[in-house]
Amino acid sequence: MDYFIELLFSGLTRGSIYALIALGYTMVYGIIGLINFAHGEIYMIGAFTAFIVATVLSIYGFPLLAIVIIAGVAAVVWAASYGYTIEKIAYKPLRHAPRLSPLISAIGMSIFLQNYVLLAQTSDFLPFPRLIRDFPFMEPIAHIIGSTDLVILVTTVVVMVILTLIIKFSMIGKAMRATSQDRTMATLVGINVNRVISMTFIIGSSLAAIGGLLIASHIGQINFYIGFLAGIKAFTAAVLGGIGSVPGAVLGSMILGLTESFATGYVSSDYEDVFAFSLLVLILIFKPSGLLGKATNQKV
């Protein structure tokens, strides 16, 4: 039974990691129907920014909490400005082009950003500072769930709740939903669609940056390539849960994380990806729009 609980929490941690990135994918898709392949790179850039800021601050001897907050804010601001700029440069000019064009543009952006960081920084693995120390009260259950795992889990839940509230009740949230339902109609009733889309990218990128900080300090290492692998898994999770749906992204991530964890625990880690993707295929056969996705008649 202990083993089951341990695997359960391993799966939840992994799921939360995926969820923090998957939320950005799903929001952008929900608004403009674009799969933003550069989103994984935004996560990577967030992690690098946090790494640079945290390293510099720890040289000057700042207290840990101050480092976490300043590095977090810096990562969010930096990554959000990247997200904003990417949308303006790579996606906005293609808004009325066939669907395939922005997709290719997104893949190009992803490759560009990877190589940019590779050249501007390094190809080596860098040790990410342990920003989250072990909490003393966690010690009795540290073998089941670690302190960083807990922080990631809690952050994911909090972020999901706040995001849902924003989308449900705030002005910008309402504007987002209107834009998502019918962009032309939204423009006609006076919604500044460009602003809404920019906001979506800024929020999604900020989440990715927070994810970058937390996940990197959980794993303890970063390099220029982490965004690609994270992006693929998070994108899978978003599709699983129903791309475009915020709770769906979290649900899909958790299911993906748990499947991988239990597959490793009870079968073999050689097959964790096989199980994860078999599940994806299975769910998409019976629910083509994902678990919580809305069925649409749109031709893709």
Partner 1 sequence: MKFTASGRFFSAAACVMLALSAPALSYGADTIKFGIVGPHTGDLAPYGLPTVAAAQLVIDQYNAKGGIAGKKIEILKEDDVCKPEVATNSATKLVSSGAQIVLGGICSGATIAAMPIYKNAGILAMSPSATSDELTASGNYPNFFRTIAPNAMQSPAMVDFAVNKLGAKKIAVIHDKGDYGKPLAEAAKAEVEKGGKAQVVLFEGITPGAMDYSAIVQKIKESDADTVIYGGYHPEASKIVSIMKKKRVGAKFVSDDGVNGDAFIKVAGEDAEGVYAAGPQDNADNPLAKAAKEAHKKAFNSDPGMFFENAYAATMVMLNAVEKAGGSTKLEDLKKVLQSEKVDTPVGKISFDQKGDAIGVGFSMYVVEKGKYVVAK
**Identified binder of partner 1 from the candidate list 219, 282, 294, 296, rule CB under 8 A:** 219
**Reduced to 3 states, what is the DSSP secondary structure of residue 221?**
strand
Q: State the virtual CA torsion across 83, 21, 206, 111 in degrees, nearest 10.
A: -30
Q: What angle do CA 21, 164, 170 make, to 5 degrees?
A: 120
- CB nearer to partner 1: give 73 or 267: 267
φ, ψ for residue 222, nearest 5 deg: -140, 155
Q: d(Cα 83, Cα 205) in Å, to the nearest integer? A: 6
Pick out residues in 9-28 that bind partner 1 (CB under 8 A).
9-11, 13-14, 17-18
> What residues have CB less than 8 Å from 38, skipping those under 6 apart?
86, 90, 106, 109, 110, 113
What's CA 220's distance to the chain center, in Å? 18
Q: Is 143 in the site for partner 1 (CB under 8 A)?
A: yes
- CB nearer to partner 1: give 146 or 204: 146
Q: Is 218 in the site for partner 1 (CB under 8 A)?
A: yes
**Identified binder of partner 1 from the candidate list 7, 32, 86, 237, rule CB under 8 A:** 7
By C-alpha distance, which of 118, 96, 148, 97 is closest to 44? Answer: 118
How many distinct helices (H) and strands (E) make up the chain? 11, 2
- CB nearer to partner 1: give 61 or 124: 124
- CB nearer to partner 1: give 3 or 169: 3
- Binding region for partner 1 (CB under 8 A) out of 72-80, 145-153, 167-175, 277-285: 145-153
Q: Is 154 in the site for partner 1 (CB under 8 A)?
A: no
**Identified binder of partner 1 from the candidate list 105, 180, 186, 233, rule CB under 8 A:** 233
Assigned token pair, 85: 């700029």
Size of interface with partner 1, in residues (CB under 8 A) = 41
Q: Is 67 in the site for partner 1 (CB under 8 A)?
A: no
User: What residues line the site for partner 1 (CB under 8 A)?
Assistant: 3, 6-7, 9-11, 13-14, 17-18, 124-127, 130, 142-143, 146, 148-149, 215, 218-221, 223, 225-226, 229-230, 233, 260-262, 264-265, 268-270, 272-273
